[in-house]
Amino acid sequence: MDPKMNPTILVVEDEPAIQDLIQMNLEMGGYRVLVKGSAEDALKTVQLELPDLALLDWMLPGMSGIDLTRKLRGDSRTKTLPIILLTARGEEEDKLRGLETGADDYMVKPFSLRELEARIKAVLRRRAPQLTEDLIEYHGLKLDPASHKVTGKGITLQMGPTEFRLLHFFMTHLDRVYSRTQLLDMVWGDHVFIEERTVDVHIRRLRSALAPSGHDAFVHTVRGSGYRFSKDS
């Protein structure tokens, strides 16, 4: 299965007009959008597919957006999920400002859609740099997300879309060990229906794609743990 190419945003909002407005605009901006009307439905959704970012309305029927944020932060699978809270002007806004909610950012309704997209981009850049289009360079290895080009010491390196995304993730998350499950969650976005050995297959392909410039040596297998990307062994 190919990894998702566009960031997926989970929108949890109970007002249909706002749901539609946000969905339409984010889709035009190139995002994949999952819309849920309640926190309970949102929790079921994230068990099946981990989104790249969640936009949560504070006032929801049943569990509130704040309680949903706490719940997501308390679960190891979703504890680093980027979250933006949406709130009505007034009392909720004051509470949000003074409260340690665990959200990355919040926006007060009514907000401009341009501002929303700017905030989404900023949060993704901070929390999930592998989803942005910034050019990355690391010890002679260059990756350009905009043109999908990779070069090593000036040599063009050919690779498939999954290897590209895997490399993009590694180059934005250097020197740390990631388990196969974590890589599936963060690179494929969905660990439920894919077997862990799929990761090994794509690691092998990534290594051969990087071999012409010698950068395959940066992909380290950490026995019993997973993989690490680094110039240091």
Q: Which residues bind Ca ion (CB under 5 A)?
A: 14, 57, 59
Q: Which of 94/175 has CB closer to Ca ion? A: 94
Q: Which of 14/41 has CB closer to Ca ion? A: 14
CB of 20 to Ca ion, least distance (A): 14
Name the residue number minimizing CB distance to Ca ion. 59
Using the structure block, give the residue that is written with the tokens 């680093």.
Answer: 80
CB of 134 to Ca ion, least distance (A): 34
Q: Which of 59/113 has CB closer to Ca ion? A: 59
Point out which residues pair with 229 in neighbouring strands.
219
CB of 203 to Ca ion, least distance (A): 43
CB of 57 to Ca ion, least distance (A): 4
Collapsed DSSP state (helix, strand, coil) of residue 66: helix
Q: Which of 19/162 has CB closer to Ca ion? A: 19
The crossing angle, in degrees rounded to 10, of helices 16-28 and 113-127 is 60
Q: Which of 57/92 has CB closer to Ca ion? A: 57
CB of 18 to Ca ion, least distance (A): 8
CB of 15 to Ca ion, least distance (A): 5
68-101: b (≥16 Cβ within 10 Å) or e: bbebbeeeeebeebbbbbbbeeeebbeebeeeeb
d(CA 24, CA 7): 15
Q: Quick one: which H or E segment has residue 108?
A: strand 105-109
CB of 98 to Ca ion, least distance (A): 21
Q: Which of 21/59 has CB closer to Ca ion? A: 59
Asked if residue 162 lies in contact with residue 18, where contact means CB atoms within 8 angstroms, the answer is no
Please, is 152 exposed, middle or buried when counting C-beta atoms within 10 Å of its C-beta (0-12, 13-18, 19+)? buried
Q: Which of 78/87 has CB closer to Ca ion? A: 87
d(CA 169, CA 180): 13
Per the structure block, which two tokens stand in for 58? 């504070």
Per the structure block, which two tokens stand in for 50? 């981990």
Per the structure block, which two tokens stand in for 198? 């799929």
